[in-house]
């Protein structure tokens, strides 16, 4: 069977970021996309992708623009079939200090993407979310929660047009910008690793695992879902001991807006979640319509009411060997 991406024109917002570049490589190598548009606001990063990092495929288009600019997005979306929305401001301390900028990009930008996709007739749109959106305690998580609501309910604005919106939500990406892994790799040269709290746990996956999940969900989505992969957990203490064995651990205290453990599916969300073998699928709380292709009730079972999927209660834990292998495979990319 052919793929959704074969012959399709695809646009990736935030295409010069860690996730965006891995997504671009994957789409170019695995699928016969007709055109692949990298939409981002930093011309230097685009030029470096083009000249230094080998992104020279003739199917690529580098489109300068900010997701806050709806008219520019409307221009960029011409002829696009699939949009992957990965652009965001995500550094927690910076966003706590610059809250209005966070709202303008992560929420206002999401609105602009939704409007441009509907007006241009983009068929499928997937937004990239985070575990920080569940029971948020910092502004970044709060803006991502609103972004999720905008995208899942964006189907109401699109109906009866062809555009469909969904989200993927997952945990910490090993080695992405802002990840603790590159910091630990750097600090191990000093013999001392700083951790906020040794008891802290997180969900972990590689960039490639995140990209593969998004690709698969785009091909399966009916519209309105939030897709959550079943991924492994590991404590910060064990991550540090694996990355820098023999180093001294120095606890510096939990930072403002930081949780001890993360949750990917909350107790409240379990009431409208389906559990499959390798993921959870959250249906929208208000259905715009139940499309014929909606079949999650036939593919999985209802999540146990009142349960949650959290990093500390996860049945799947990374071993030190597995983490080292993931880092060696390019997780620190």
Distance of alpha carbon 184 from alpha carbon 240, whole angstroms: 7
Digit-coded pLDDT (tens) for 38-50 = 999 999 999 999 9
What is the DSSP-derived secondary structure letter of residue 103? I
Nearest to 185 by CA among 171, 174, 172: 174
Q: How many domains does the chain have?
A: 1
> Is the preceding omega at residue 160 within 30 degrees of 0, hence cis?
yes
Nearest to 166 by CA among 128, 134, 140: 128
103-112, 152-161, 261-270, 312-321: least confidently modelled range:
152-161
What average pLDDT score do residues 294-323 get? Answer: 93
pLDDT at residue 177, rounded to an integer: 67
Residue 61 within a domain: yes
CA within 13 Å, CB half, 267: 3
Checking if the pLDDT of 333 tops 50, the result is no
Digit-coded pLDDT (tens) for 5-55 = 999 999 999 999 999 999 999 999 999 999 999 999 999 999 999 998 989
Q: How far is CA 282 from CA 4, 124, 287, 320, in A?
A: 22, 18, 12, 31
CATH of the domain at 212: 3.40.50.720
Q: Match 């929305």 to its residue by tokens.
A: 85
Phi-psi domain of 177 (left: phi exceeds 0; alpha: psi -120 through 50; beta: other): beta
Instruction: Tell which wins on pLDDT, 167 or 176.
Output: 167
Digit-coded pLDDT (tens) for 54-67 = 899 999 999 999 99
Across the chain, mean pLDDT equals 93
Residue 256 within a domain: no
Distance of alpha carbon 25 from alpha carbon 85, whole angstroms: 16
Whether the CB-CB separation of 71 and 115 falls below 8 Å is answered with no
Residue 235 within a domain: no
Of the chain, the percentage scoring pLDDT greater than 90 comes to 78
Residue 14 within a domain: yes
- Report the predicted TM-score, pTM, of the whole model to 2 decimal places: 0.94
Confidence of residue 152 (pLDDT cuts 50, 70, 90): very high
pLDDT at residue 281, rounded to an integer: 97
Distance of alpha carbon 275 from alpha carbon 131, whole angstroms: 17
The Cβ of residue 332 has, within 10 Å, a number of other Cβ atoms equal to 18
Nearest to 210 by CA among 166, 248, 172, 258: 172
Segments forming the whole domain that contains residue 123: 9-171+206-230+264-303
Residue 113 within a domain: yes
Catalytic residues: 132
Facing residues of 36 across strands? 10, 60
What average pLDDT score do residues 124-136 get? Answer: 97
pLDDT at residue 183, rounded to an integer: 85
């Amino acid at each position: 069977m052919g793929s959704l991406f074969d012959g399709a024109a695809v646009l990736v917002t935030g295409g010069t970021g860690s996730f965006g570049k891995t997504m671009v490589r994957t789409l170019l190598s695995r699928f016969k996309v007709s055109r692949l548009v990298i939409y981002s606001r930093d011309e230097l990063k685009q030029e470096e992708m083009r000249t230094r990092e080998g992104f020279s495929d003739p199917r690529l288009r580098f489109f300068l623009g900010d997701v806050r600019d709806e008219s520019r997005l409307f221009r960029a979306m011409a002829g696009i079939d699939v949009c992957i929305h990965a652009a965001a401001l995500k550094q927690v301390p910076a966003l706590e200090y610059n809250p209005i900028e966070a709202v303008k990009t992560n929420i206002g930008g999401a609105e602009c993407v939704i409007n441009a996709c509907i007006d241009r007739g983009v068929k499928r749109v997937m937004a990239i979310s985070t575990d920080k959106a569940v029971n948020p305690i910092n502004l970044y998580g709060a803006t991502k929660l609103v972004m999720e609501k905008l995208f899942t309910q964006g189907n109401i604005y699109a109906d009866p047009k062809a555009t469909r919106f969904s989200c993927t939500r997952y945990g910490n990406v090993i080695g992405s910008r802002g990840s603790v892994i590159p910091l630990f790799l750097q600090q191990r040269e000093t013999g001392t690793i700083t951790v906020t709290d040794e008891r802290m746990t997180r969900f972990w996956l590689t960039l490639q695992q995140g990209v593969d999940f998004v690709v698969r969900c785009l091909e399966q989505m009916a519209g309105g879902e939030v897709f959550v992969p079943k991924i492994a957990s590991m404590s910060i203490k064990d991550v540090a001991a694996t990355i820098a064995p023999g180093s001294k651990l120095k606890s510096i205290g939990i930072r403002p807006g930081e949780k001890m453990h993360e949750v990917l599916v909350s107790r409240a969300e379990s009431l409208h979640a389906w559990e499959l073998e390798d993921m959870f699928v959250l249906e929208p709380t208000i259905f715009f319509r139940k499309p014929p292709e909606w079949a999650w009730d036939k593919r999985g079972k209802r999540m146990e009411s009142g349960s949650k999927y959290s990093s500390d209660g996860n049945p799947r834990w990374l071993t030190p060997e597995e983490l080292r292998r993931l880092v060696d495979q390019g997780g620190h990319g």
